[in-house]
Every structure is written in C-alpha cells, then in structure tokens.
Amino acid sequence: MSRRILISGGAGFVGSHLADGLLGAGHEVRVLDALNTQVHPNGPPAYLSPDVELMTGDVRDPNCLKQALRGVDVVFHFAACVGVGQSMYEISRYMSVNTGGTAELLQAILDNKSALDKLIVASSMSIYGEGRYYCSACDKAAAPPVRTTAQLKAGQWDLRCEHCGTVLEPRPTDESKPSEINSFYALSKRDQEEMCLIFGRTYGLPVTALRFFNIYGTRQALSNPYTGVAAIFASRLLNGQAPLVFEDGEQMRDFVSVHDIVRANMLAMERPESDGEVINIGSGNPVSILQVAQMLAGSLNSSIAPVVTRKYRAGDIRHCYADLTKARALLGYAPKVTHEEGFSELAAWLSKQQAEDRAETMLKELSAYGLTA
C-alpha cells in the first residue's frame, strides 16, 4: 500500500538514503529540512532524489510543520543536531533543535489533528552511556558509571570492577540497560525518544524508537568535523593527513551500514510488533576505533597510519555495541552489510569527493572550552 511519508531532517545522510528506499517501495516522500550550513554548505544536496518533495524549513516552526504534515500517513523524525563534542558547548542550540523541535512536532501533530498511521523516531546508542560489561574475576555482569574527568585526565581509559579492580570486558548492550547520560547530545536524544513514546501512549499513535549505533556510508558530510568518525577519518586521509584517534584507540563501537539502517526503518514502519517499543539497530559486531582508521586507509590505498593522540573528549564512553535480540524478534532485522563490504563502498565514493579537513578546528574548539586534553 502506497503511503505519503514525511522525513524531518530528510536531506541529510541517513534521511536521504531512507527517502530512496521509500520511493523505491512506491511511497510518496516529503522532506522537511533546515539545510543547516554545517551539514549542507552548498544548499540542497545533489544526491537528494528529484522525486522527493523538499520543504526548506525549521522543525521548530509551527507553520512549516503544519504544511509539512498535511496529508501525511507516516512520519520519520530524523531532524537533529548531531555531535557529542559540539553539544557540550552549543548547549542551547542542541537542546532547542533536538528537544524543542520534537516538542513542536508533537504539538503540531496534535493541533493539526494529523491522522498518522505511525511515528518512527531516530534515537541513539549515546543514551546508554557506557555499555554492558562483565567481570571475569567476579564472574558477574557489571554496569559501571561513566568515567570521571579525573580518570580521563589521568589516561585511565579502561573501566574496572568496583569490587576487585579487574578490567571489565565489554558485552552486547540490550535495551533494558539503564540510561546514564554523559553529554547534552545524549540527553536531547533521550528527550526525543521519551517524548515520542509518551505521546504515542497518550494519544494512541503507534510509535517506534530506533536506537541507532554508529552509522557510516555514502553521503556523510565530510567537511563537518562533528559527523561520524568514519567520515572524519576519511576527510583526513583524503587530504593527506593522519586520522587523529582519541584515547588509545582500543575503544569499541558498533559500526552499521546506512543500508541496514534503511531496512530497519522500513521494517519498523510495516511491523505492528514494534509499536511502543525501543529497539537497537546496529551490526552487533564491535570494532575498535583504531581498526576503523586502519580499514579506511586500506580501502583508500593509503599508507598513512593513524596517530593515537591519547587525548580524551568530554562525553565520550569506552565501549558500547548492540544486542540485536529484540530487533530480530520484533522486526525480523539482521544486518546484511559486512564491514569489509561497507567500508569498500564508502571508499569508492570517497575517492570521488572533495573534503575539507576540519579536524584541527574541532580540536581547537573543544580545547577552548576545556573539553579535551
């Protein structure tokens, strides 16, 4: 059945790929995007399908939202400022766009009596704080607090058991893990998730919150120093510079292809089993940040080795990767794109791009606010 679909923030990296998937499935797609210059320095991106109805406007503008929601059956809420580091010193903007924008969207759905079939909100693994852990010496699970600034300044990267001092081993993180917020970005994403779920329960609207892990793929904003780490590393390599790796590079993340993210979103739209649920979407296959830098260099045929800075960033965590049990059960989701396939595709696209390397700018901005050392 063909539906009319709104994607807020849909001109971006993930939203545009989702638009392609939805169009390919026979749906009509409208995009509302502010076209922020940090992400879209040249205006509407060339990769956005001409079959998309593009509305340029701010998700905090009730008039824009009223027009954008007209005749819509499903909303994918992707509009957000993205970046843990930047959120720590652009607090007002992040909370205004992410939390305030979500409030405006929900208010507009209510005020305009929008007869939606479903709302799907892009949440984030950042709301977990640290992931799940296990102490081999005590033979028990552990959920340690986020690291303190004093630990980070001392270069104490690993988390240790509070009982015996053994370095904890990371384990897959499931949706029931309590949230431990460590950045304003994470706080705003939890706000988005909880607000949408509360609205759904109150007004009988089916809502699904998808907690995305570290997404990579074509169309990432290469000149945005607060985009995904894969794109940041790639920008450095394309400009003949070494990727700058924080801490010791051994921190583990879950990198998931944008193509798998699109499939998960389309499954969530069709599966009533996901209504009212929070679901992890990742690869379930952890990889270290240092390995990512090395894989990208290999894919780009670059001999430039990453530089391990042993610097920290406020708001960063040590390890977190997805437990996909719930995604498999409720969505029938399983990742299909391997890291080798995904990074090869990314490299082929990157080789044709021009990227302004602004990693040093990011470091200077973070340093000016005392957020790295």
Domain for residue 287, yes or no?
yes
CA nearest neighbour of 45 among 81, 5, 15? 15
**Kindly report the CA angle at 80 between 195 and 330, in degrees rounded to 5?**
55
Alpha carbon distances (Å) from 298 to 63, 184, 199, 291, 348:
48, 34, 46, 10, 12
Average pLDDT over residues 46-59: 97
CATH number at residue 188: 3.40.50.720
Q: What is the pLDDT of residue 234?
A: 83
pLDDT at 300 over 70: yes
Q: Is the pLDDT of residue 225 over 70?
A: no
- Whole-number Å distance between alpha carbons of 308 and 357: 18
Q: What is the pLDDT of residues 96-138, one digit of tens each?
A: 999 999 999 999 999 999 999 999 999 999 999 999 999 999 9
Structure tokens at 76: 């994918």
Number of domains the chain contains: 1
pLDDT at 185: 95
Per-residue pLDDT band at 245 (split at 50, 70, 90)? very high
pLDDT of residue 47 exceeding 90, the answer is: yes
The confidence score (pLDDT) of residue 232 equals 84
pLDDT in the model for residue 226:
60
pTM: 0.95
> Is 104 inside any structural domain?
yes
369 falls in which pLDDT band (50, 70, 90)?
A: confident
* Residue 232 belongs to some domain of the structure: yes
User: Looking at residue 357, what is its pLDDT?
Assistant: 64
Rounded mean pLDDT of 198-204? 98
Mean pLDDT of the chain: 93
Cα dihedral 94→255→21→72 (10° resolution)? -30
Tens-digit pLDDT profile for residues 171-198: 999 999 999 999 999 999 999 999 999 9
What's residue 113's pLDDT?
Answer: 94
Percent of the chain with pLDDT over 90: 80
Structure tokens at 67: 């027009």
Tally: H helices and E strands in the chain: 13, 15
Domain membership of residue 23 as a residue range: 4-368
Whether residue 115 lies inside any domain: the answer is yes
pLDDT-derived band at 358, boundaries 50, 70, 90: low
CA-based radius of gyration for the chain: 20
pLDDT for position 164? 95
**In-domain check, residue 373:** no
* 314 pLDDT tier (thresholds 50, 70, 90): confident
Residue type, 37: T
pLDDT of residue 117: 97
Q: What is the mean pLDDT of residues 347-360?
A: 75
Greater confidence (143 vs 137) lies with 137
Within-domain flag for 47: yes
- Provide mean pLDDT across the span 269-297: 96
The model's confidence at residue 230, banded by pLDDT at 50, 70 and 90, is confident
The tokens describing 257, both together, are 């292809």
